[in-house]
Amino acid sequence: MQSEMHSCAVRCCDDTRKQPRMDNVQGCIDECATPLLKAQDYMQHELGQFQVRLQRCVMQCNDDVRSLIPNNTNEADMARFRNQFERCTIQCVDKHIDLIPNMMRAMKSVLSSGPNAMRHA
């Protein structure tokens, strides 16, 4: 995509007979960059959504364990609760790591479909 963007920009600069004004050339170059910018935006959005889902899972672990801790908790019990939180967190991370291959395939598919396929909420 980056190579195509640069090739397109070169054509804009070489084609000054049709677009002799600098602002027209710049507009053409900006249009060349649009697909790459959309792809970058799409990737940032998808990775951000992945990060948010992982954070929510870890926060749920935190909430679940906190709800189990009584007011008068000794150090041994706190260690047990920390261990429970860590196990839950590891499960979250493992679950999300398992999602990465499918997520990558889906993102590659969208990227190969072109800029118009890169819509997100």
DSSP string, 69-88: --SS--HHHHHHHHHHHHHH
Q: Looking at the predicted structure, is the pLDDT value of residue 47 above 50?
A: yes
CA–CA gap between residue 115 and residue 118 (Å, rounded): 5
Alpha carbons 63 and 67: distance in angstroms, whole number:
6
pTM above 0.85, yes or no: no
CA distance 104 to 47: 10
Nearest CA-CA partner of 9 in 22, 28, 24: 28
pLDDT tens per residue across span 70-110: 988 899 999 999 999 999 999 999 999 999 999 999 999 99
